[in-house]
Amino acid sequence: MDDKFDDEYQASADWLMSKTSCRPTVGIVCGSGLGGLAKILEERQIFKYADIPNFPQSTVQGHAGQLVFGTLKGKACVCMQGRFHLYEGYPVQKVAFPMRVFKLMGVETVIMTNAAGSLNQDYKVGDVMIIKDHINMPGFAAVNPLVGPNNDRFGVRFPCMSDAYDRELRKLAHEVVAELDFGDFVHEGVYCLIGGPSFETIAECRMIRQLGADALGMSTVHEVIAVRHAGMRCLAMSLISNRAVMDYESEAKANHEEVLETGCQRTAQLEQLVSTLVGRLELCHNKSL
């Protein structure tokens, strides 16, 4: 049984494919302050979210709100400059909406970035965390893009999430990190999704750290679930934009301006990392999905 957005996914994909000859196999999702990643694409074609039928609108500072089509290392790509969040008031299915449009356009691999707060005391602001797993806090209350009638055209009713973050892609990412000599600021860890938009309390940070998370943020997980449900591969990375406050004596306060500033400082190296990864995707052979 199809979900209520089924016709909208197809209409959005059809509209985009009628406007561009680019047939992307790679999707890139830019997090807060990381929209500059789209600039590494060549032969760019840009479509404002406002012009795409049924597409949500990005309302967050640091999110340009547009799709950018182009080529990178000879591969056709589509890049989201700006994503959608629960705290903007969108239903969870709309948060993940673009991922299903990606699938209908032929995307096979999705590379995601986000800005995240560090819970792991070994991480520094400006570090990058390759996500190996996630904790979906809203998901414990059935806030999940797959809630409702299953859309069989994309995937099965009960998809496995133990392999949400593709092992072969993560292995490839570590190889690229070593080659670029980025090892001193790249880690691998667990990401926790919180709903936002308020930053987390000290007690919440301590609890989430005890659950095994290394960083936390307000995005990515719902997109990953939709990506895996649809049989696409996924690699995700967090830019550590702030350290979560976990000490009651601390005077530090989390803020969005710090997130944006950190993104600007690390953009060039993230561009190099993503660009090299895309160029090597054909070397990464994943098990059958």
Query: Is position 250 annotated as part of the catalytic site?
Result: no
Q: Indicate the burial class of 96 (C-beta count within 10 angstroms; 0-12, 13-18, 19 or more).
A: buried
Catalytic residue among 120, 136, 144, 242: 242
Catalytic residue among 118, 219, 238, 241: 219
pLDDT (mean) for 45-51 = 96
Please give the pLDDT value at position 284: 63
Please give the pLDDT value at position 288: 37
Given a cut of 80, is residue 145 above it in pLDDT?
yes
Given a cut of 70, is residue 78 above it in pLDDT?
yes
Residue 181 CA to residue 240 CA, distance in Å, equals 18
Catalytic residue among 256, 261, 271, 275: 256
Given a cut of 90, is residue 252 above it in pLDDT?
no
Query: Is position 215 annotated as part of the catalytic site?
Result: no
Given a cut of 80, is residue 258 above it in pLDDT?
no
Q: How confident is the model at residue 287 (pLDDT cuts 50, 70, 90)?
A: very low
Given a cut of 90, is residue 230 above it in pLDDT?
yes
CB pairs under 8 A, 24+ apart, for 40-44? 40/72, 40/271, 40/274, 40/275, 41/68, 41/69, 41/70, 41/71, 41/72, 41/77, 41/79, 42/70, 42/71, 42/72, 43/70, 43/71, 44/68, 44/69, 44/70
Fold of 6-280: Rossmann fold (3.40.50)
Catalytic residue among 9, 12, 58, 63: 63
Catalytic residue among 218, 230, 232, 246: 218
Query: Is position 229 annotated as part of the catalytic site?
Result: no
Domain residue spans in the chain? Answer: 6-280
Please give the pLDDT value at position 266: 79
pLDDT (mean) for 20-48 = 89
Query: Is position 9 annotated as part of the catalytic site?
Result: no
Catalytic residue among 17, 87, 204, 271: 87
Q: How confident is the model at residue 16 (pLDDT cuts 50, 70, 90)?
A: very high
pLDDT (mean) for 121-150 = 95
Given a cut of 70, is residue 11 above it in pLDDT?
yes
Residues contacting residue 186 through CB under 8 Å, at least 6 positions apart: 127, 128, 129, 130, 174, 177
Catalytic residue among 8, 9, 32, 96: 32
Please give the pLDDT value at position 289: 39
Given a cut of 80, is residue 12 above it in pLDDT?
yes
Catalytic residue among 12, 38, 80, 85: 85
Contact 57, 17 (CB under 8 A): no
Catalytic residue among 13, 96, 99, 115: 115
The model's pLDDT over 98-118, given as tens digits with 9 standing for 90+, comes to: 999 999 999 999 999 999 999
Give the three-state DSSP class for 244.
coil
Given a cut of 50, is residue 1 above it in pLDDT?
no
Give the three-state DSSP class for 190.
strand
